[in-house]
Amino acid sequence: MVKRILLATLGSAVTGFLVGWLVMGLLFAGLMKEMAESAGSCMTAEPLMVYIVIANIVIALFEVILFVRMGVNTFKAGLLNGAWITCLMIIWFDVWMFAQFDFMQLKFMAFDIVGNTLIGTIAGGVGGWILSKVK
């Protein structure tokens, strides 16, 4: 059981990191720059990658633990469950940010929800797929 969870977490975290780089770093690079500029001193000049890696591991572990408890063990089930789990968490976080920080605008919130849900969906699919392969 532990081996399944660790391998699925690793695969999901790596996938989340790579898809996150594609989505946030390339596809939405202009919006990310605009959001960073509007946040002023609240944002670091360069992201601290070690913490992004840690965050990907934590969210992947959270999803995989939920997947095991929910009986998710296919790519499709991982996609679907990764989508709604991630979407709900990001909506919660962004609404909280919107209530607390002036720089959080509705367009940034929408971008963040869509981008992170896409990342969580694909990473969840990989986590579900690995759970189906590792016994």
Which is nearest to 126 in space by CA: 2, 53, 42, 18?
A: 18
State the pLDDT at residue 1: 83
Rounded distance between C-alpha atoms, residue 101 and residue 90, angstroms: 16
Is residue 45 over pLDDT 80? no
User: How does residue 65 score in pLDDT terms, banded at 50, 70 and 90?
Assistant: very high
Rounded to the nearest 5 degrees, what angle is found at the Cα of 23, between the Cα atoms of 22 and 24?
105
Rounded distance between C-alpha atoms, residue 59 and residue 41, angstroms: 26
| Cα 9 off chain centre by | 13
Is residue 60 over pLDDT 90? yes
